[in-house]
Structure 1
Amino acid sequence: MELLFLLLLIIIMALALGSGFPVAFALPGSAVLSIVIAGLCGYFFENDPSAYFHSGSPYQWLSAGVTNLRGVYWEVERDTLIAIPLFIFMGIMLQRSKIAEDLLVTMAQLFGKIPGGLGISVVFVGALLAATTGIVGATVVAMGLISLPAMLRNNYSPSLATGTIAASGTLGQIIPPSIVLIILADQLASATDQAGSIRKGLYKASTGEISMPSVFDVTSTSAGEMFLGAFVPGLLLVALYMIFILALATFSPKTAPPVPYEGRMDRDFWLKVIITLFPPLTLIVLVLGSIIGGIATVNQAGAIGAAGAIIMAGYRQTINNPKQAFYPAIIMFISLIIISILLYNFDMNIKSIKNVNEEIAIYIGLVATLSLVISLIWSGWRLLDVKKTLNGVMLETAKTTSLVFIILLGAAMLTAAFRAFGGEDLVRDFLNTLPGGFWSKFIMVMIVIFILGFFLDFIEIAVVVVPIVAPILLADPSANITAVWLGVMIGLNIQTSFLTPPFGFALFYLRGVAPAIVKTIQMYKGVIPFILLQLFALGIVGYYPALVNYLPNRVSYLSDTAPPPKNPKIQYCLEKFVSDKLSLVNNPTIMALKKSKEINFTLLPNDLEKKTLKSINNGFVAVSLLDEISKAEELLNQASSNYRPKLFKVRRIEQFDREIKQEIKALNNQIEITDSNQEVIIATLNKKLENLKLQSNLLMSQIPNTWDKDYQTFNKLVKNEKLLRSKYRRSSDQFYSGVQDLLMILKGNQKFYSLENRLNNFKNKLLSDHNNTKLILNEIKNLSKELSSVDDGGKMKSYLRKIKRKIKKKTVKIDRVMKDFDNLIKIYNKKAKWLDKADSKLRNQVQSLLNETAYTIGSRNQKKLPRETALFIAKCNSGHKDISLNF
């Protein structure tokens, strides 16, 4: 019966949306109504309000909806959504200040003489506005009012003109900073936690092991990573639009003729181009560059963008008074340069002032910061005074932000109702039963999102569909996709919702400003090629996941907070990098290892010599293990081609069997609590139970007889590869740390030699003041600390402890104390003797060995990944590695 109420939920929501009822109230309203109706029906027909729910009671699901709703704004860690009003403010401010209009006019003059140049300029400006505003409605309306009349006047095809403007206006949904990317990042962060739990359960059910290795964990994403991931796909889409317009204009000149600039391209023209282009490009660099460079979070970048928009709008609104128009912008620019120079050269922390120069730098920084604030206030005052621009922008920002957040809150309620009636399980079971594995599930989800785009807004799709399907797709180990790639793919797909009739919002915006001569059917025809281009871009990004994953990986691995070289998730790629390096002819690492055989380690004490030789031998072992790993991996890949279909078949059977066994368990519980007098009900339940048991037996009989043998054989190959990798890591660590320890001993010789005078002074105090227990014990304590840094074997410290025990006795026998001291001195002299010889003859050779192996077999022992290694790993980890063979 719960399916009936799930259908009721969807019908109520569809009727509410179709009738024009506000989305913000349609989503939670349909959720509350369906839960209440299901509870009342259960109470009246079954005498149990929870009878028609998948699990739980109506009160619990209403409470769950409220909890979801509270989670949107209450959780302290969930601060991603703070960036939304900041970017909305920036976009509306730039649109209201006529900067978009300036860009369009200037670019049209610049590119007009090229075939299709006017259309290309619209795409170019659309991309710039997308990177500064991200507001689709404002962009489409602005470009429709300015460019459409000019394109029609110059004999552009109405279909191409309207299609270009509508498609270019939607670029703000995928080119960062984008509101939809922020919402998707927020939704995917929650979905990742669910996916991680699902994958751990799958691993436990498949292997029987309680804990899953961390290398198989589902990685979360953030708004910053989403911005980085969407950057290249956004540029790809811009390039496709431009290539299409240029190709169409070349093969069909009548559709997009060139429009030469009638004026002169003199100094004033190029000055105008610079003044028009430079501020928006600077703002893009500041906003996106600060995120990409790891300088600012998305929220901080949003604040930078909002402040930049105020400055730009301030001079644009007072352009009629050119002498004073640019004063605030100039002050801000100079202030930023001064602050940047000071931050680069000084520690600008008031609490850590060390000298007069730093104090002066902080005072200058305070003045520059004050100047920056003054420039913002000055520009804001202008916007309040001129046409009340700031009032209108604040009002529109509040309206748009409220709309986004109210839909988010309503979707939180709807998600709870959807789960209450088993909708989530229904979707998961449907997707998991599709033949073809992950990609069939993924394609089905993409088709559903594309179809929903015909009727729903991007926010509704992002907050309703993503929480349901994302955990299922992210949990699948056969593709092991990243959350950022899934988010960008959904973002590209959602972008089509602005162009697809009948409810394509970009079409509505453009229809509102287009002249009557342009027919609606022409607009529909015009967007079809661009929808196809968007789907083509979706296919390219799906086939080459590195287009999304590489940039976030690159920024992550090159940042100050980069994962350490021993991080489990980068070991496979790190070993591949080392293996590729060692395969080169005359590789320095191999040559250095061979040369180490010629080093005369007999100068060292026996125990240290043996330890060092063992460490160097581990280096040779590590190199040979890399070859073995390559062979084991090749064998594994060969065996997996036959094993993978069997594994996929058996795991599907086992999954279905687990679901049947859960039903059997539920029926057994129901039979136990059913009154024994209700024989008819018990008989019906027993009949269902027998049918389920038959289904289970039939399913399990479909597992091939050779499965256990095949599984064990393949599992041996998997374990062998894991064992070899584990041995390599252990051998490489032991090699590098052992040789490094020797170098530290040799480097500490000066400190060791300086102890001679210290020991002689201690001897004199023992002879003269041995009865002054407090003084001698204090000396022993200080000397022990000094010995800790140079006495690698601890032998000298052991004699020092013996002296300490004898000094503490009531009667100090100085002859016995001095005997222990003499033994300490003998050890010191012995070490000083070999250390002096070893340092002069071994130190440079050992240092050279470490230098040549540091970034190959010694990589794991470094504090941070070197640039070359980090870039290789970023590229290596950009693809999707199938890990299903481990499940």
Structure 2
Amino acid sequence: MELNEILSVIMFAVVCGVLLVGYPVAFSLAGTGLMFAGLGWFMGVFDFSLFGALPSRIFGNAMTNEILIAVPLFVFMGVMLERSKVAEELLESMGMLFGKLRGGLGISVTVVGTLLAASTGIVGATVVTMGLLSLPTLLKRGYSPSLACGTICASGTLGQIIPPSIVLVLLGDQISNAYIDAQRAIGNWSPDPVSVGDLFAGALLPGMSLVGMYITYQLIRAYMDPDSSPAIPTEEIAAEGLWRRILHALVPPIILIISVLGSILAGVATPTEAAAVGAVGSLMLAGLRLDEGHGRAMQLAALALVVMLVLANTMDLRVARNEIPTADMIGIIGAGISTLVLIYGMWIALYRVYTTKIEETGIPVLVAVMRSTMEISAMVFVILIGASVFSLV
């Protein structure tokens, strides 16, 4: 084995060790890469001129790539849903639905974790949210601490594989470029690209299979060791209005998830366009959850959005024409009115999210969401830069 190959193996082992110690991923990748670049240069097996390709990778590939715009939009969507108490309402409703079963609370945590994974695409915030909301309840109900913590951690990490995962968005871009280069290297100059939508479709079944295995394990564990995951007594579950609460908590997030993922998988929208729809939808859903007197405005806005989609697919809404039939003119007017209603609903939602403050910190929800979005997005892109440095060594 040559010296450069030995250094490559050692570099990979070192970066794994540094990550296990707990250093940030971006600094671990970039720092290890630079350290071994210097070591390789000292031993005469590395040329620093290779780093000349770094600016083109950052500014040429990352900064001009429209797919990566989906990253902050998906992050905004997930953080907004978490900050607007959607997760809390889901946990309460699912707990009432499955609480009668042994292991039912754990199953409800897994189901909510799946829904959050399909709406956030990030892991850290999901685990923290699930831990704060569900861990005290699980322990209070007599759940085994190891089972409770394992359920939360396993459910929280589903965001890595269940679309729209931020990891899949980044991998989709890298895999697409690598696949095209590999096909051209073997003489295929018109290869079919691997899109982010393809990765989403491929990851959906493994992700749901993982959810099924989690739930199966909890049922088996509850059957074999009833004391580890007891059921909630029937008299403590409020049966009145249960299904109405479940539908109220479950239907809007599911519609949002189906709208985002369905548009990508069906090829109707690109990941960036679907992420923009998800960001707007999460804002309106948060406004509906936090609003005390203008819930009807959000409902009208949602109805206006449906009307706009129907009109766009059934009528010719082009204005730049010599003659416009009466039916199309009515459709254009209806689309204009629907647009105004949608803008009004978004304004009410934005105002409500901005004026509502988080009880623990006193910070407006919108401010907290924007801060978290900026922090997480910056972390993702810094990791991308660190990975670019690491890959050049």
Q: TM-score, normalised by structure 1?
A: 0.41
Map 1:652-691 → 2, pairs under 5 A? none
Q: Matches of residues 506-655 of structure 1 in structure 2 within 5 Å?
A: none
Select which of 236, 239, 247 maps to 1:265: 239
The one of 29, 42, 56 equivalent to 1:67 is 56
Query: Any idea what SS the aligned residue of 1:361 has?
Result: helix
Matched, 1:237 2:210: yes
Counterpart residue number, 2:335: 365
Shift of 1:350: 1.5
8 Å CA contact 2:107, 2:218 repeated in 1? yes
Which one has more relative contact order, counting CA pairs under 8 Å at least 6 apart? 2
Equivalent position of 1:413 in the other structure: 389
What does residue 149 of structure 2 align with? 162
Q: 2:272 aligns with which of 296, 299, 315?
A: 299
1:350 aligns with 2:337: no
> What SS class does the counterpart of residue 317 from structure 2 fall into?
coil
1:153: Cα distance to partner? 2.1
Q: CA deviation at 1:150?
A: 2.0
SS at match of 1:254: helix
Task: Determine whether 1:194 maps to 2:214.
Answer: no
CA distance in 2, matches of 1:366, 1:223: 33
- Cα 1:11–1:243 change in 2 (3 A) is closer
TM-superposed CA distance for 1:9, in Å, is 4.8
1:153 aligns with 2:153: no
- Answer yes or no: is 1:85 the counterpart of 2:105: no
Q: 1:264: how far off? A: 3.7
One-letter code of the match for 2:372?
E
Q: Residue 401 in 1 paired to residue 357 in 2?
A: no
Deviation readout 1:616-672 (Å, 9 max, x if unpaired): xxxxxxxxxxxxxxxxxxxxxxxxxxxxxxxxxxxxxxxxxxxxxxxxxxxxxxxxx
Residues 513-541 of structure 1: CA distance to partner in whole angstroms, max 9, x if unpaired?
xxxxxxxxxxxxxxxxxxxxxxxxxxxxx
Residue 94 of structure 2 corresponds to residue 107 of structure 1 = yes
- Cα shift at 1:306: 0.6
Is 1:172 matched up with 2:138?
no
Residues 712-760 of structure 1: CA distance to partner in whole angstroms, max 9, x if unpaired?
A: xxxxxxxxxxxxxxxxxxxxxxxxxxxxxxxxxxxxxxxxxxxxxxxxx
Give the drift of 1:21: 5.1
Change (3 A) 1:242 1:16: closer
Using structure 2 for the length normalisation, give the TM-score.
0.89
Corresponding residue for residue 368 of structure 2 = 392
Does the 8 Å CA contact 1:69/1:413 hold for their aligned counterparts? no
Select the residue among 285, 301, 319 that pairs with 1:332.
Answer: 301
TM superposition shift of 1:12: 6.9
Q: 2:348 aligns with which of 370, 375, 378?
A: 378
Partner of 1:31: 33
Look up the match of 1:58. Answer: 48
The structure with more radius of gyration:
1
Instruction: Indicate how the Cα distance of structure 1 residues 22 and 134 shifts in structure 2: closer, same or farther if over 3 A, else same.
Output: closer
The one-letter amino acid paired with 1:66 is: P
Counterpart contact for 2:96–2:242, Cα < 8 Å: no
Q: Within 1, Cα distance between the matches of 2:104 and 2:159?
A: 21
1:660-710: CA deviation from partner (whole Å, max 9, x where unpaired): xxxxxxxxxxxxxxxxxxxxxxxxxxxxxxxxxxxxxxxxxxxxxxxxxxx
SS at match of 1:155: coil
- Mark the CA change 1:22 to 1:115 in structure 2 (over 3 Å): closer, same or farther: closer
Query: 1:774-802: per-residue Cα shift (whole Å, max 9, x none)?
Result: xxxxxxxxxxxxxxxxxxxxxxxxxxxxx
1:588-629 Cα deviation digits (max 9, x unpaired): xxxxxxxxxxxxxxxxxxxxxxxxxxxxxxxxxxxxxxxxxx
SS at match of 2:302: helix
C-alpha distance in 1, partners of 2:126/2:10? 38
Unmatched segments (≥5 aa) in structure 2: 358-363
Identity of aligned residues (%): 39
Query: How many angstroms does 1:367 deviate by?
Result: 1.3
Give the drift of 1:285: 1.6
Unaligned runs of 5+ in 1: 43-50, 201-210, 418-887
Cα distance in 2 between the residues matched to 1:101 and 1:187: 36
- From 251, 254, 263, give the equivalent of 2:227: 254
SS in 2 for 1:351: coil
Displacement of 1:300 in angstroms is 0.9
| Change in CA separation of 1:32 and 1:69 when aligned onto 2, cut-off 3 Å | farther
RMSD: 2.4
Contact 1:8–1:34 (CA under 8 A) maintained in structure 2: no
Q: Is the 8 A contact 1:348 1:362 kept in 2?
A: yes
Once residues 227 and 68 of structure 2 are traced to their aligned partners in structure 1, the CA distance between those partners, rounded to angstroms, is: 47
**Post-superposition offset of 1:72:** 3.4
CA contact (8 A) 1:127 1:168 kept: yes
Q: Distance in 1 between matches of 2:366 and 2:202?
A: 33
- Specify the alignment match of 2:360 in structure 1: none
The answer for the alignment partner of 1:341 in structure 2 is 310
**Residues 1:155 and 1:225: Cα distance change in structure 2 (over 3 Å):** same
Q: 1:415 aligns to what SS in structure 2?
A: helix
Q: Using the alignment, how far apart are the partners of 1:84 and 1:269 within structure 2? A: 36
Q: What's the counterpart of residue 2 of structure 1?
A: 4
* Cα drift, residue 124 of structure 1: 0.9
Contact 2:294 2:348 in 1 (8 A): no
Structure 1: distance between partners of 2:138 and 2:53: 53
Q: What is the CA distance between 1:37 and its match in structure 2?
A: 4.9
Per the alignment, do residues 172 and 19 of structure 1 end up closer, same or farther by CA in structure 2, a change over 3 Å counting?
closer
User: What is the 5 A alignment of 1:442-457?
Assistant: none
Structure 1 residue matching 2:163: 3-state secondary structure: coil
Check the 8 A contact 1:188/1:220 in 2, yes or no: no
Specify the code of the residue in structure 2 equivalent to 1:391: V
| C-alpha deviation, 1:312, in angstroms | 1.3
Aligned to 1:604: none
Mapped to 1, the partners of 2:244 and 2:256 lie a distance apart of 19
Q: Distance in 2 between matches of 1:163 and 1:133?
A: 20
SS in 1 for 2:227: coil
Per the alignment, do residues 18 and 280 of structure 1 end up closer, same or farther by CA in structure 2, a change over 3 Å counting? Answer: closer
Give the Å deviation of 1:18.
6.6
Q: Is 2:260–2:275's contact at 8 Å kept on the other side of the alignment? A: yes
Pick closer, same or farther for the CA change 1:52–1:232 going to 2, 3 Å. Answer: closer
3-state SS of the aligned residue for 2:320? helix
Q: Which amino acid aligns with 1:117?
A: G
How far off its partner does 1:17 sit?
A: 5.1
Contact 1:195–1:218 under 8 Å retained in 2: no
The letter for the 2-side match of 1:270 is W
Partners of 1:228 and 1:83 lie apart in 2 by 17
Tell whether the 8 Å contact from 1:83 to 1:302 is kept in structure 2 after alignment: yes
Q: 1:162 to 1:342 in 2, by over 3 A?
A: same
Give, in whole Å, the separation in 1 of the partners of 2:163 and 2:244: 28
1:35/1:62 contact within 8 Å kept: no
Aligned 8 A contact 1:192 1:219 in 2 = no
CA distance in 1, matches of 2:66, 2:212: 34
Q: Which amino acid aligns with 2:386?
A: G
Moved more, 168-177 or 327-336: 327-336
What residue is the counterpart of 2:253 in the other structure? Answer: 280
* Alignment partners' CA distance in 2, 1:341 and 1:10: 53
Report how many residues are paired. Answer: 383
Return the alpha-carbon distance in structure 2 between the equivalents of residues 21 and 230 of structure 1: 29
**Contact conserved, 1:103 with 1:276, CA < 8 A, in 2?**
yes
Distance, in Å, in 2 between the alignment partners of 1:79 and 1:306 is 16
